[in-house]
Amino acid sequence: MMRFSGVCSAIVLIVVSGLAQAEQAGWALFDKVQHAVKQYNFDTSFVVLKGGKVDTYRWLHGRTENQEIEHLIPLDTSGVDILRRDAIVYYLLADRPAFVTQSHSIPELPALFFESKQEISKLYNAVAGSSSLMSGRSAQLLRLTAKNAGRYNYWLWLDDESGFPLRIDTLSDQQNALERWLVTHMQINPEMPDSLRALMEAELPAATSVTNKALANNNQKLTWLPEGYTEVAEPASIPQLEKSLLSYWLLSDGLHQVSVFVQNPQHLPTQAYRDGATTIYVQTANQLEVTVIGPVSIDTARQLAAAVR
């Protein structure tokens, strides 16, 4: 019996050691992806697939010894050019002055590329998968599996040679694909693209730090938060909604962000729908209209709306 117990203990140790090595290999791949998008000079194109909808973008990134710049250009006519120089982000609008805010990444790009491994590892386990061919390149699979139910999972494929991300699938906890981010062209250069050098030197407006006025005067309270989420203390102002907002909360779990808006009712029925991985939920109750927008399940959005008092 003692010999059998010893064999079982050895097997358990081998399994635990194997899992630890797999986790370590997974996070090493994650480091490789983040290094590629933060350190390389590149010019790439990608598409975002949401159901039957396809959005196409060009993404350029450059880095010198002291400065970083990136430019996200929508290739659809309805999009907005977005430029980041170090920690300043410019939304370059054709018909009105640029909207300027502060961030160390462009929020419209996948947050997985930029949030710290320390924060993401609180939410996900990382496991290296198999290799496959993708767009003529050898691609390594990295699975990020949520530690808690109700949070999306991510499958990433990265270029074996450079570590650059080639594809990201956002999966529900039932492993249904909700959204796909897919590179269609990639060019990594030793030097910064000329177009970015010109933008680095261009004169642009200064950033403004404005918090939402609705927060200071609201009469509503948010009485429940999803597990792992906290309220962002000073969310950026939303000029388009500033006049109509009664209250506004921005929630974050370190990777995802969820917005909760309170407005006077428009007498619309309660409704919910998905835009890829993003849920939009609108509920009218107690003479208030509550809108929840973010990468959460419809059930979670419903609970957030009901938590407004």
* 196 plus 239 within the same structural domain: no
In a domain, 12, yes or no: no
In a domain, 34, yes or no: yes
The confidence band for 76, taking pLDDT boundaries of 50, 70 and 90, is confident
Residue 31 has pLDDT above 70, yes or no: yes
Residue 135 has pLDDT above 80, yes or no: no
Q: What is the pLDDT at residue 3?
A: 63
Domain of 67? 21-201
pLDDT per residue over 154-199, tens digit each?
999 999 999 999 999 999 878 889 999 999 999 999 999 888 999 9
Residue 276 has pLDDT above 60, yes or no: yes
* 194 plus 250 within the same structural domain: no
Q: What is the pLDDT at residue 235?
A: 77
Q: What is the pLDDT at residue 217?
A: 45
CATH number, domain containing residue 223: 3.30.200.100
Q: What is the pLDDT at residue 5?
A: 60
Number of domains in the chain: 2
In a domain, 289, yes or no: yes
The confidence band for 250, taking pLDDT boundaries of 50, 70 and 90, is very high
In a domain, 74, yes or no: yes
Classify residue 272 by burial, with Cβ atoms within 10 Å: 0-12, 13-18, 19+: middle
Q: Which strands, in side-by-side order, build the sheet including 41-50?
A: 99-102, 88-92, 81-85, 68-74, 53-63, 41-50, 177-189, 165-171, 153-159, 137-146, 124-134
Interval 274-287 mean pLDDT? 89
The full DSSP string for 58-125 is: EEEEEE-SS-EEEEEEESSTT--EEEEETTEEEEE-SSSPPEEEE-SS-TTS-GGGTS-HHHHHHHEE
Task: Judge whether 292 and 305 are in contact, CB under 8 Å.
Answer: yes
* 46 plus 146 within the same structural domain: yes
Structure tokens at 54: 């396809």
Domain finish residue from 147, 174, 201:
201
pLDDT per residue over 41-64, tens digit each?
999 999 999 988 899 999 999 999
Domain finish residue from 159, 179, 201:
201
